[in-house]
Amino acid sequence: MSVVTEQTKVEEEALYKVSVRNLCLFGAKAGDLDLRFTPSPTAQQGREGHMLVASRRGLDHEAEVKLSGTYQCLQVSGRADGYDARRNELEEVKTFRGSLKAIAPNHQELHWAQLKVYGWLMCQSRGLSTLNLTLVYFDVGDQTEHPVSEAFSADELRVFFESLCERFLDWARLELDHRQRRDAALEELEFPQLPFRPGQRELARDVYRACVQSRPLLVQAPTGIGKTIGTVFPALRAMPVRGIDKLFFLTAKTPGRQVALEALQKVTRTQKHFPLRVIELVAKDKACEHKDKACHGQSCPLASGFYDRLPEARAAAAQLAWLDQKGLREVALEHQICPYYLGHEMVRWSDVVVGDYNYYFDRTAMLHSLTVDGGLRVSVLVDEAHNLYARACSMYSEDLSHAQTLAVRPDVPKAIRGRIDELLNQWQLLLDASERNTPDKTWNLLDELPEGMLRSLQKFNSMVSEHLNDHPTDTYGALLPYYFKTLSFAGLAEAYGEHTMCEFDQATLALPSNPLTQSEALQLSLAGELVGVPENAPGTLTLRNIVPGHFINTRIKSADSIVLFSATLNPPDYYINLLGLPDTTLSNNIPCPFKPEQLKVSIKPISTRRDDRPVSLDALVETMASQFADEPGNYMAFFSSFDYMELAQRTLQQRYPNLTVWSQERLMTEERRQAYLHQFGAAGQGIGFAVLGGVFGEGVDLPGKRLIGAFIATLGLPQFDEVNQAICERMQKRFGRGHDYTYTLPGIQKVVQAAGRVIRTELDTGTVILLDERYLESRYRRLLPDWWEVEVA
C-alpha cells in the first residue's frame, strides 16, 4: 500500500496544472491582435451579470460547477458557469455591452473552445454520452440574454479536448523540466558578493524568513548596503521552499529597474546557463515600434496575424533566460510581432518579472490579474517603498473639469450631444450651489457625491458606449480620451468612502492633478484652449484618494509574501496604516553601517518660511558660498519649489558670478536629466540646484568625489492649503496623527532621501547643511537618522 501511495504522489507531482482558460488561450486563439476600443463591462458588472443569469435558472440548475480532468501529464481544471441536469445543458456566460456583432470572431472562437473543454470534463465527470452546450452572451446594459446552443457527443468533445491538449503537451513538458531545473538551481544558489556588507546579511535573513513564513515585511535599510541584491537573493532562495511560481520586483522609477536587472545578473552568473527566466516590463510608448499606427491588424503590421505567429515567437523567447527590453524586441521583430504584447505573453512563462508599481497595484494591473486568474503563488518585492503611498493615491484618484467637458463638445456626435449638454448643465448647477452656499470660497470639500452629476455621467457613458459599438471605425478626436476619464471617474465614484475626498474647485482650470496624456492634451487644445482659465468654464471636480490601503490591500493579500524596503520607512505604522498592510506585518530597521564622522551634519537656524525668505536669502547663499570656499567640490542644493530654487540660484550667481552652478528644469527629457548628472564629475566643482522630492532627490548615485555635500532648505513640508488641511483632519479622525501623517512625515522623508545622496559607500565622506531653524525642534530632530550627529552652525 505504501508503494502505491508513493507512486501516486510522484505522479501527482509530475502533473502540469493548467486552467481551462489558459489552455484555450495557448492553443485556440488565432488571428490579429485587435485593441480597438470596444466598450466592455467592468469586473463588478461582470460578476453581477453572472449572478443575475444564475438567479433566473430553475431548481435543477447547478452554478459554478468545479471540473477537472487529466490528459497524460496535464491536469486541466476550471469552473463551468452552470449545468441543468434535467435539460442536460452546460452553460458558459460571457458578459458584454453594446452590440453582439462587435465581439470579434476570434474571441467567439475562444469562448466556444472554453465551453467545449468544460463539456468534455463534464461528460467525463458525470458519465454522459451527449451534452447540450449553450454559450450565453449577457448584455449588462439591457440585461438581455443571447444564447447560442449546440449539441455534441462525448466523443466529439473528447477529440476536441485531446487535440487542444496535444498542442500544449510539448510545452507543458518543457515547463515541467524548466521548473525542476530552476528549483534545483535556486536551492544551490550562493550569494555572489561575499563577504556580506555590514547589515546586508541581516537584511537577507529577514527577507528569507518573511518569504518562507509567508509574512508581509516592512524593512528600512540604509543606502549603501546593497539593498537590491540583499532582497533579490533571499527571495530567490525561498522560491523552491514555498513553491513560488513567480517573483515580482516592482519599482517606482526606471533606474530602479536597471539596478534590479543588474542584481539578477550578478546572482545568476554563479552558474553557467542558469535556468531562470527574467523579463523586464516597460511602458507601452517605449516598446512600440509604430507609434503612428493603431493597435490592430488593419493598421499595424506587427498586430496583423499576431496570434498566428505567436507560437514560434513564444518558443524562441522561452529559450532565452534574459528578456530585457532589448532581448524581447529582438525576438519580437525576428518573428514580426509586437514587442510590447509579446512581453505580456512571456510574463506567463517567466520566473522573475521586473516592472513598475502599476503592473501590480493599479486598477487594471496585469500582474495581479495573472496571479488571481491563474491561482499563482507569487512573492513581491517593492523597491523604494516610501514612494508607494503617493503612487497608489494617484492610481485611485481622478478628476474632471468643466473646461474639458466644454472643449470636447465639438467632437461629440450629434446623436449624443444632448448628453454632453446635460453634463454642462450639471456643471452650472454645481457652480451655482457653490456660489450660493460658500460665496467667499473657491475650493470646497463636498460632504457627499453630487448625485445629479453622477447620473448624467452614467447616462453619457452608456450612450457613448452604444455609439462606439455601432460606429467602431469613426474618428472621435477628443471624445475617446474624455470618455476614458468619465469611465474612470464613475468607477471610482462607485467605491467612494472615507478613504477618498470629493472636492469642487471653481477656480482651478489648468490641467488636472492627474495630467492628461500628450495626445489628450493636444486634442483638447484643438477643441478649446486650456492654457488659461476660460471665464465661461470654471470648475474642477476631484475624487482624491488619501488612504490607498482600501484598494491595494487585496493585492497585498493575493501575494504569498510581500517585502517593502527603502532607506526611509520610519515610522512603520505610517506605511502599515496607509497601505493597508495586515496586523501580521513584520518590520525591522537595519542599523546603518556608516560612521558619524563620515557625514558632518549641521543646522543653520534661519527661517525659510515663505514670508521670511527675502530676509533670510542673504544668510542662505552666504552659508552655501562659505561651505564651498572651505571645501571646494560638487554639491547639491535642494529647495521646496522651483520658484524658491530659482530665486536662490539667481541671488547666488549675482553675488558669486565665478561659482559654477547648474539647475533642474521644470520639464526635463531623459537626455537633459543625464546631462544634469554628468556635471557631477569626479574632478568637478560646482553646485547643482534641485527641487526637494523631485527626480534628483532620490535614486541618484554619485559616490566618491562626484558629490561631497548637500544644502537642504526648508523642512520639505507640503503646503498649508485647504486641500492639505482637509487631508489633515481626515487623518486625525482616522489615525489620531493628522499633522504627522499629512505634513511632518512626508516632509522629513524627502529631507532624508536628499541627504542620502551624499554618503553612498563606506569610503565616502561629506557634509549636509540643514537650512531651517525648525530643525532645532525635537519633533523634527527625532525623525532624522539616528546615526547622524547634528551640530548647530
**What is the per-residue pLDDT for 342?**
96
User: In this structure, how many other beta carbons lie within 10 angstroms of the beta carbon of residue 101?
Assistant: 9
CATH code for the structural domain at 596-792: 3.40.50.300
Question: Residue 97 to residues 144, 258, 470: CA-CA distances in angstroms?
Answer: 10, 42, 11
pLDDT tens readout for residues 550-572: 999 999 999 999 999 999 999 99
- In sequence order, the β-bridge partners of residue 76 are 18, 69
Phi, psi of 70 (to 5 degrees): -125, 155
589 pLDDT exceeds 60? yes
When pLDDT is cut at 50, 70 and 90, the band that residue 508 belongs to is low
489 pLDDT exceeds 90? yes
Beta strand 599-604 with 790-792 is parallel
Burial class (CB in 10 A: 0-12, 13-18, 19+), 343: buried
Q: SS3 helix, strand, coil % of the chain, rounded to 5?
A: 50, 20, 35
pLDDT tens readout for residues 120-169: 999 999 999 999 999 999 988 789 999 999 999 999 999 999 999 999 99
User: In this structure, how many other beta carbons lie within 10 angstroms of the beta carbon of residue 162?
Assistant: 13
Run of H or E including 354:
strand 352-356
**What is the per-residue pLDDT for 515?**
39
**What is the per-residue pLDDT for 787?**
93
Q: How far apart are CA 757 and CA 699, in angstroms?
A: 8
Q: How far apart are CA 56 and CA 69, in angstroms?
A: 29
**What is the per-residue pLDDT for 472?**
66
**What is the per-residue pLDDT for 535?**
47
Q: How far apart are CA 264 and CA 550, in angstroms?
A: 33
When pLDDT is cut at 50, 70 and 90, the band that residue 506 belongs to is confident
Q: How far apart are CA 46 and CA 35, in angstroms?
A: 20
> 445-467: buried (b, 16+ CB within 10 Å) or exposed (e) per residue?
beeeebeebbebbeebbbbbbbb
Cell 444564475, residue? 54
pLDDT tens readout for residues 518-544: 334 434 433 333 433 444 568 899 999
Cell numbers at 30, concatenated: 488565432
Length of the chain: 793
When pLDDT is cut at 50, 70 and 90, the band that residue 280 belongs to is very high
**What is the per-residue pLDDT for 440?**
86
Run of H or E including 147:
strand 144-153
**What is the per-residue pLDDT for 536?**
55
| Helices H / strands E in the chain, number of each | 29, 25
pLDDT tens readout for residues 10-60: 344 468 999 999 999 998 888 999 887 666 777 778 888 889 999 999 888
Q: Do domains 189-393+551-589 and 596-792 have the same CATH topology?
A: yes
Cell numbers at 614, concatenated: 527675502
**What is the per-residue pLDDT for 37?**
67
Question: Residue 681 to residues 256, 635, 688, 707, 708: CA-CA distances in angstroms?
Answer: 22, 11, 12, 8, 11
**What is the per-residue pLDDT for 224?**
79
**What is the per-residue pLDDT for 140?**
86
Q: Is the peptide bond before 222 cis (omega within 30 degrees of 0)?
A: no
344 pLDDT exceeds 50? yes
Q: How far apart are CA 381 and CA 391, in angstroms?
A: 16
Q: Is 602 helix (H, G, I), strand (E, B) or coil?
A: strand
| Candidates 1.10.10, 3.90.320, 1.10.3470, 3.40.50; CATH matching 2-170 | 3.90.320
Cβ partners under 8 Å of residue 223, min gap 6: 567, 756, 759, 760
**What is the per-residue pLDDT for 518?**
36
Phi, psi of 63 (to 5 degrees): -95, 150
When pLDDT is cut at 50, 70 and 90, the band that residue 475 belongs to is low
Cell numbers at 471, concatenated: 460606429
When pLDDT is cut at 50, 70 and 90, the band that residue 473 belongs to is low
Question: Residue 301 to residues 25, 69, 296, 337: CA-CA distances in angstroms?
Answer: 22, 39, 8, 8
pLDDT exceeding 90 applies to what percent of the chain? 77
- Sorted by where each begins, the domain ranges of the chain are 2-170, 189-393+551-589, 400-547, 596-792
pLDDT exceeding 70 applies to what percent of the chain? 93
Residue of 666 and 510 predicted with greater confidence: 666
pLDDT tens readout for residues 614-632: 999 999 999 999 999 999 9
pLDDT tens readout for residues 737-789: 999 999 999 999 999 999 999 998 889 999 999 999 999 999 999 999 999 99
Cα–Cα nearest to 433, from 461, 453, 463:
453
What value does the mean pLDDT take over residues 649-667? 95
Cell numbers at 477, concatenated: 478626436
Q: Please tell me the number of Cα atoms within 13 Å of 63 on its side-chain side.
A: 12
| Candidates 3.30.2140.20, 3.40.50.300, 3.40.50.720, 3.40.50.1820; CATH matching 189-393+551-589 | 3.40.50.300
What value does the mean pLDDT take over residues 397-424? 92
- In sequence order, the β-bridge partners of residue 63 are 82
Q: HEC profile for 643-660?
A: HHHHHHHHHHHHHCCCCC
Residue of 339 and 475 predicted with greater confidence: 339
Q: Is 770 helix (H, G, I), strand (E, B) or coil?
A: strand
Cell numbers at 669, concatenated: 527629457
User: Which pTM value belongs to this model?
Assistant: 0.90
Residue of 793 and 276 predicted with greater confidence: 276
Q: Is 620 helix (H, G, I), strand (E, B) or coil?
A: helix
**What is the per-residue pLDDT for 537?**
66
When pLDDT is cut at 50, 70 and 90, the band that residue 465 belongs to is confident
* Average predicted confidence (pLDDT) for the chain: 90
Phi, psi of 317 (to 5 degrees): -65, -35
Cα–Cα nearest to 218, from 418, 6, 20, 388:
388
- Yes or no: say if 478 and 407 are a contact pair by the CB < 8 Å rule: yes
Amino acid letter, residue 159: V
